[in-house]
Amino acid sequence: MSSILFHKNNNNLAKLASVSILGVLVLSACAPAATPAPAPVETTAPQVATATVAQPVASLPAEASINVATDAKLGKILVGDKGMTLYMFTIDDPGQSNCDAECLAKWPPLLTQGNPTLGEGVEAALIGTASLPDGSKIVTYNKMPLYYWVKDTKPGDTTGQGVGEVWYVVSPDGKVVDSDASSAAPAAAEATISVATDAKLGKILVGDKGMTLYMFTKDGPDQSNCNAECLAKWPPLLTQGNPTLGEGVDASLVGTASLPDGSKIVTYNKMPLYYWVKDTKPGDTTGQGVGEVWYVVSPLGKVVQFVAPVPTPKPAKEKGGYTY
């Protein structure tokens, strides 16, 4: 009996196992196909082209600007960017800056790319440039370089005026203003030459307001030999290039010569023309013959060195009814 039971149990277990295996097979058949494992991913970063990207170029500074401002004490003076005062260095030479690196740190140059912007009252004919040691260009005015002063902090400041007795503000006619007198000279008007008649000297050349003009016989053609001390007594007839000529003045004889400071003196028949400080009014000729080297000038361009006295006619005598 027990063997029969064992046999039946074994059959039941076999059937159960068969059913279990069949279920597994059915489930396996119904399950979705397994997704294959992805291929290993390359972990090395891909190579990227490293073309150099140009950095933005810094903007060039704005072009230099020069304008004229009016100072309560100094009169009309040159100013640069934002109305900051400009200065000249009297130790400079025409067309050359003698301000070294330490100096330039205190007196920044007015740099230019070649085309400064000029305001009303600025004389374009006086504008130029000079080279600094680093190759940059400093603006010159009347051939003298222009600078700012680091201690000027706002428009209207003129704290650099007279520093070291070599730094000065600049007038529109290209001269340094070397004092703070309220009567600082305004820009000079263009030279004038006219002909006047003197009772003793005849027809002579005169300049502004009819003041007598003179020649210095020690000058050379187109060259003034009158030094600074001399020029203080014999002010030159300066020009900006276009003197105004009156009737009787020979335009073909008019020219210019350069003075040491770069300014232009009018020449007549190639000889420079001057005033005399002791002439105080039109018609004065007190400079005539001074030192036997200063003389008035005829419209022909000759010095009038002397005047022949006019002979006094003798009274007529009568004899025998005849006058002789």
Write down the pLDDT at residue 189. Answer: 62
With 0-12 / 13-18 / 19 or more C-beta atoms within 10 angstroms meaning exposed / middle / buried, residue 111 is: middle
The yes-or-no verdict on residue 35 having pLDDT over 60 is no
What pTM does this model have? 0.43
pLDDT of the residue at 312: 59
Highest average pLDDT, of 24-28, 93-97, 161-165, 187-191, comes from 93-97
Q: Which residue has the higher pLDDT, 134 or 22?
A: 134
Query: pLDDT confidence of 228, banded at 50, 70, 90?
Result: confident
Task: Output the 3-class SS for the chain.
Answer: CHHHHHHHHHHHHHHHHHHHHHHHHHHHHHCCCCCCCCCCCCCCCCCCCCCCCCCCCCCCCCCCEEEEEEECCCEEEEECHHHCECEEECCCECCECCCCHHHHHHCCECEECCCCEECCCCCHHHEEEEECCCCCEEEEECCEECECCCCCCCCCCCCCCCHHHCEEEECCCCCEECCCCCCCCCCCCCCEEEEEEECCCEEEEECHHHCECEEECCCECCECCCCHHHHHHCCECEECCCCEECCCCCHHHEEEEECCCCCEEEEECCEECECCCCCCCCCCCCCCCHHHCEEEECCCCCEECCCCCCCCCCCCCEECCEEC
Q: Measured between alpha carbons, how far is 155 from 82 in angstroms, rounded to an integer?
A: 7
Q: What's the pLDDT score for residue 316? A: 57
pLDDT reported for residue 260: 83
pLDDT at 307 (0 to 100):
57
Q: What rounded mean pLDDT belongs to the chain? A: 80
Report percent pLDDT > 90 for the chain.
60
Whether residue 120 is predicted with pLDDT greater than 60 in this model: the reply is: yes
Say if residue 213's pLDDT is above 90.
Answer: yes
Give residue 222's identity as a one-letter amino acid code: D
Give the mean pLDDT of 278-302: 95
Q: Where are the domains of the chain?
A: 65-177, 192-302
Name the pLDDT band for 106 (thresholds 50, 70, 90).
Answer: very high
Spatial contact of 169 and 242, defined as CB atoms under 8 Å apart: no
**In this predicted model, what pLDDT tens digit does every residue of 156-196 receive, in sequence order?**
999 999 888 889 999 999 999 976 443 334 444 688 999 99
- Across 72-80, average pLDDT: 93
Pair 139, 131: CB distance under 8 Å:
no
